[in-house]
Amino acid sequence: MQPTQGQGYWQPDDNGEQTPQANSTTPLNQSVGEAPSAFNGYELTEQQQTSMDSIDESQEIQWEASEYIHHEKSSSWFVKLTLVAIMLIVLAIVFRQWTFTAVIAVMSASLAVYAKRPPRTLRYHLSHQGVIIEDKFYPFQEFRAFGILQDGPLFMINLLPRKRFMPALSMYFEQQDGERIVDLLAAHLPHEQMKPDLLDTIVRKLRF
């Protein structure tokens, strides 16, 4: 679906899913009456960086969302987990890998406990300085870009860190909040197309 007059950066596709698109009529950080933005849809240009003073620094967005998408586990799921753990432990014992045996046992028990734990509802606070998750503040300077993925009924923003070995910071949000959240983020960070990585694929296959 092409952007239309009055729509923002957060646009629906023809199949009903939401994907970020550049708007040819209303740039990301431009409100009615503001000067045209230099934001080209996916990169912040030098001109855009110098025009950040015109942004309303008091703009803030607050919302609550699940920590992650929770899938109810059936008894067969736990049976399969137990069987896999036993097989790995037997192999480790055969090859006399005692440390690996202990690691598998601890990881399997932890996974079973974690699978039963319901997700927390987290409070998010987004401003032009950064994002606060619960009581921890993450400034935008720590991130190089952001990407968007859909996970079941919710959407997820991944803030990609500048440091190589730091994990991405994930924030879930509902569809109706997408436009405001994405527009504010795009005023500070470039958007990067994302696809589920191997770990995401494995987690979804496990229905975790």
Q: What are 154-205's pLDDT values in tens digits? A: 899 999 999 988 889 999 998 899 999 999 999 999 999 988 776 666 655 5
- Domain spans of the chain? 10-67+119-205, 75-116
Reported as a single tens digit per residue, the pLDDT across 52-111 is 444 455 689 999 998 877 667 788 988 988 999 999 999 999 999 999 999 999 999 988
Residue 105's identity, in one-letter code, is A
CB 91 within 8 A of CB 149: no
Which has the closest alpha carbon to 157: 12, 45, 20? 20
Which has the closest alpha carbon to 97: 88, 106, 107, 110? 88
Per CATH, which fold does 10-67+119-205 belong to? Answer: PH-domain like (2.30.29)
Reported as a single tens digit per residue, the pLDDT across 40-50 is 433 333 334 33
What does each C-alpha distance from 166 to 144, 159, 160 come to in angstroms? 12, 11, 9
Q: What is the mean pLDDT of residues 29-35?
A: 43
pLDDT for the residue numbered 203:
58
Q: Regarding predicted confidence, which is higher, 167 or 23?
A: 167
Residue 188's identity, in one-letter code, is H
Strand partners, 100: none
pLDDT for the residue numbered 130:
96
